[in-house]
Amino acid sequence: MTHTAPATDAGGHLRRLDRIDVWSLPRLFVVVIGIGTAFTYYDIFDINVSFIQTCLDIVAGCAPETAVHWLGTPVLANLVGYAVGAVVLSRLADRFGRRDMLMFTMLLTGLGSLYNALAGDYTHFVLARAITGLGVGADIAIVNVYISEVAPRAARARFTTLVLVLSAIGAAGATWLGLVLTTPAAPWPQGLPFAAASADNPGAWRWMYAVGALLALVALLLRLKLPESPRWLLARGKLARADAVIVDMERRARSRGWTPPREPTPAPAPSVPEPAGRGSLLDLFTSRRYLGRCLLITAIWVLAYTTVYGFGAGLTSILSAVRYTPSEAGMIVAIGTFGYLAAEVVGYFVVEALERKHWLPVGTAIVIVGAVLVGASGGSMPVAFLGSVLIFFGYNLWFAPTYALTAESFPTRMRAGAFGITDGIGHVGGGIGVFLIAQNVERLHAPAALAIICGFLVAAAALAQLTVRTRNRRLEDVSP
- Please write the tens of the pLDDT for every residue from 398-448: 999 999 999 999 999 999 999 999 999 998 887 777 666 666 665 666 677
236 vs 280: CA distance, rounded Å? 11
pLDDT at 191 over 60: yes
What's the CATH number of domain 26-258+278-466, 1.20.1250.20, 1.20.140.10, 3.40.640.10, 3.90.1330.10? 1.20.1250.20
Concatenating the DSSP letter of every residue in 337-387 gives: HHHHHHHHHHHHHHGGGS-GGGHHHHHHHHHHHHHHHHHT-TT-HHHHHHH
Q: Residues 128-167: pLDDT tens digits?
A: 999 999 999 999 999 999 999 999 999 999 999 999 998 8
pLDDT at 281 over 80: no
- Average the pLDDT over 258-282 and give the result: 62
| C-alpha to C-alpha distances, 189 to 184, 322, 333, 335, 372, nearest whole angstrom | 13, 18, 12, 10, 21
Rounded-to-10 torsion of CA 471, 473, 477, 479: 30
Q: Is pLDDT of 343 > 70?
A: yes
Give the torsion sign (CA, 121, 434, 164, 284).
Answer: negative
What does the alpha-carbon distance between residue 102 and residue 90 come to, in Å, rounded to a whole number? 9
* Residue spans per domain, the chain: 26-258+278-466
CA nearest 334: which of 398, 395, 389, 371? 389
- What is the rounded CA–CA span in Å between residue 328 and residue 352? 37
Q: Determine the pLDDT at residue 1.
A: 40
Runs of H (alpha helix) within 258-314: 282-286, 288-312
The candidate with the shortest Cα–Cα distance to 125, out of 169, 201, 67, 196, is 67
**Could you tell me the pLDDT band of residue 4, with boundaries at 50, 70 and 90?**
very low
Alpha-carbon distance 469 to 160, whole Å? 17
| Dihedral angle, C-alpha 339, 78, 173, 366, nearest 10 ° | 0
CA distances for 396 relative to 86, 269, 377, 436, angstroms: 20, 39, 22, 22
Mean pLDDT over 105-116 rounds to 94
DSSP 34-68: HHHHHHHHHHHHHHHHHHHHHHHHHSTT--GGGTH
Of 393, 369, 363, 334, nearest to 450 (Cα)? 369
Which of 471, 459, 472, 469 shows the shortest CA–CA distance to 361?
Answer: 459
Instruction: Taking residues 299-322, report their average pLDDT.
Output: 79
- Burial status of residue 444 (CB atoms within 10 A of its CB: 0-12, 13-18, 19 or more): middle
Containing 162, the helix (H) or strand (E) segment is helix 156-182
**Predicted confidence (pLDDT) at residue 348 exceeds the cutoff of 50:** yes
| Inter-residue contact 478 to 406 (CB < 8 Å) | no
